[in-house]
Amino acid sequence: MAPPPQPPSSTITFIIFSSFLHLALGGTIGVNYGRIANNLPNPTQVIQLLNTTGITHIKLFDTDPTVIQTLSGTGISTIVALPNDHLSSAATNQTYTDTWVQSNILPYTQTTTITAIAVGNEVFSDPNNTTSFLIPAMKNIHASLTKHNLTIKVSSPVALNALDNSYPPSAGSFKPEVIEQVIKPMLRFLRDTNSYFMLNAYPYFAYEANPDTISLDYALFRDNTGDVDPNTGLVYKSLLEAQLDAVYAAMDALQFNDVKIVVTETGWPSSGDPDEIGAGKDNAGQYNGNLVRRAVSGGGTPLRPNDDLNVYLFALFNENQKPGPTSERNYGLFYPNEEKVYDVPLSFVAVNGSTVG
């Protein structure tokens, strides 16, 4: 299942060095701006807050015009989204996607840096089962963008539970029921349009479900001896990288070894119910901090060593109106009053004081 528990690593002290992300040559760090809450600051305040973090990439869950307008002129790279409840219309009605692009994308392309559209979100887990609409909706959105010569990428965030098997990473495979209907046509589309696979991956879920077999050090990117994939001999130092390579292996098995992955959501809750093992501020700070340090220092996963890790943290704020267990409302880097939930510098100085990267 997973590597044996490792002894705790020595405490790593991070020091804020605010301009660091601008200098980094490695992967990019973005953040999800979720808004399922009734107490968040207004978008202008939010973009100012984002500016203080040095984060230059943001992902939205819709195309709220106020938010997109607030991003104009900032140069912040923005992923917008077509929500799941639009998928059936988008799949069946080209006029619908033409109109959607004209109203929600076209007015902003001169001033807001919209780089991608997430069409739907984790549709395989949508209780309304929008799976069958996904591929036609992606194609229609792409066709509508092409009419205006827009080269914005089109993709759709897939949750890690689309995998049937993820261990060892080399044996990664998609669930049989989604392969022919969705995954293969999606990968073909992503390849043909030079887009990328959007993956939502949370090592926390795996750790929380298997705290006896998964080492916390491995889940949190702390020092550990690593886990060897017996099929490849590759050594994994973090659960997120193992999860990424399980998806890469699943794609390879379908002969799509040229499509890249961007992690569109990952994070760790700073609070949870008593049975949510591992939730807490210290672990959340270490997960996000170590992940950022890992990504900006460059280099990819064992299977894709040259592809830097590009990740979008989930999320900017704690969101008080999210349903589910306590953890769901506690993924934020910030409280709604803009105070940090924990002291995670989003830019770093390494253990011995030298800059990373």
Q: Which residues are catalytic?
A: 122, 265
Residues 34-93 that bind ligand NAG (CB under 6 A): 51, 54, 56, 74, 76, 84-85, 93
Nearest distance from C-beta of residue 14 to ligand NAG, angstroms: 13
Please state, in angstroms and rounded to a whole number, the distance separating the CA atoms of residues 268 and 223.
18
Nearest distance from C-beta of residue 2 to ligand NAG, angstroms: 26
8 Å CB contact between 347 and 23: no
Site string for ligand NAG, 201-240 (x = CB under 6 A): ----------------------------------------
8 Å CB contact between 357 and 343: no
Nearest residue (CB) to ligand NAG, 43 versus 280:
43
131 near ligand NAG (CB under 6 A): yes
Quick one: DSSP state of residue 106?
A: G
- Other Cβ atoms less than 10 A from the Cβ of 161: the count is 15
Across 203-240, b (16+ Cβ under 10 Å) vs e yields bbebbbeeeeebbbbbbbbbebebbebeeeebebbbbb
Nearest residue (CB) to ligand NAG, 44 versus 128:
128
27 token code pair: 């992967």
Residue nearest to ligand NAG (CB): 132
Binder of ligand NAG out of 9, 111, 132, 165 (CB under 6 A): 132
Nearest distance from C-beta of residue 85 to ligand NAG, angstroms: 6
Please state, in angstroms and rounded to a whole number, the distance separating the CA atoms of residues 134 and 130.
7
11 near ligand NAG (CB under 6 A): no
Nearest distance from C-beta of residue 282 to ligand NAG, angstroms: 21
Total of chain residues touching ligand NAG, rule CB under 6 A: 22
Nearest residue (CB) to ligand NAG, 19 versus 306:
19
148 near ligand NAG (CB under 6 A): yes
Give the angle 44-75-14 at the CA atoms, nearest 5°: 80
Q: Is 194 helix (H, G, I), strand (E, B) or coil?
A: coil
Nearest distance from C-beta of residue 8 to ligand NAG, angstroms: 17
Nearest residue (CB) to ligand NAG, 89 versus 271:
89
Residues 96-115 that bind ligand NAG (CB under 6 A): 96, 99
The gap from C-alpha 39 to its chain's centroid, in whole angstroms, comes to 24
Give the angle 345-347-350 at the CA atoms, nearest 5°: 95
Quick one: DSSP state of residue 322?
A: -
Nearest residue (CB) to ligand NAG, 270 versus 290:
290
150 near ligand NAG (CB under 6 A): no
* 175-179 long-range contacts, CB within 8 A, separation 24+: 175/124, 178/124, 178/131, 179/254
Which residues here bind ligand NAG, judged by CB under 6 A? 51, 54, 56, 74, 76, 84-85, 93, 95-96, 99, 127-129, 131-132, 148-149, 350-352, 354
